[in-house]
């Protein structure tokens, strides 16, 4: 799978999230406890931008729209809508660069 540079490490400090674009895809990039995660940024419910949501201590982002939760590691909805999920992207750090496998 091709790797695409989307950000630098200093752009995503611990506890932050950044919206990035890979071709036409919108992706949320998260630094949760020093670990990087990338998931599709559009909520499958009504399309709100997930990167604007809070991240729980368990590593779940809470959609700012209607509070569905998505696990940053698996993309699965963990708030009762079992069929809903968002795509995840493997994250690779090379030096100061953050790349996604797309």
Q: Which residues bind ligand FES (CB under 6 A)?
A: 43, 45-46, 48, 63, 65-66, 68
- For ligand FES, which residue has the nearest CB? 65
Residue 26 or residue 102: which is nearer to ligand FES going by CB? 26
Residue 46 or residue 73: which is nearer to ligand FES going by CB? 46
Min dist. Cβ of residue 100 to ligand FES (A) = 22
Min dist. Cβ of residue 82 to ligand FES (A) = 14
Residue 5 or residue 66: which is nearer to ligand FES going by CB? 66
Beta strands in 1-102 (DSSP E): 3-8, 17-22, 25-32, 35-40, 60-62, 69-71, 91-94, 97-101
Distances (CA, A) of 88 to 38, 39, 56, 75, 95: 6, 4, 18, 6, 22
Q: How many Å apart are CA 24 and CA 37, to the nearest integer?
A: 19
Min dist. Cβ of residue 28 to ligand FES (A) = 12
């Amino acid at each position: 799978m091709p790797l695409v540079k989307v950000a630098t490490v200093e752009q995503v400090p611990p506890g932050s999230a950044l919206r990035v674009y890979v071709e036409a895809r919108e992706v949320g990039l998260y630094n949760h406890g020093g670990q990087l995660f990338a998931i599709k940024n559009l909520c499958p419910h009504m399309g709100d931008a997930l990167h604007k949501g809070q991240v729980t201590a368990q590593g779940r982002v809470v959609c700012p729209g209607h509070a569905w939760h998505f696990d940053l590691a698996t993309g699965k909805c963990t708030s009762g809508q079992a069929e809903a999920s968002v795509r995840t992207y493997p994250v690779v750090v090379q030096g100061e660069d953050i790349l996604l496998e797309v």
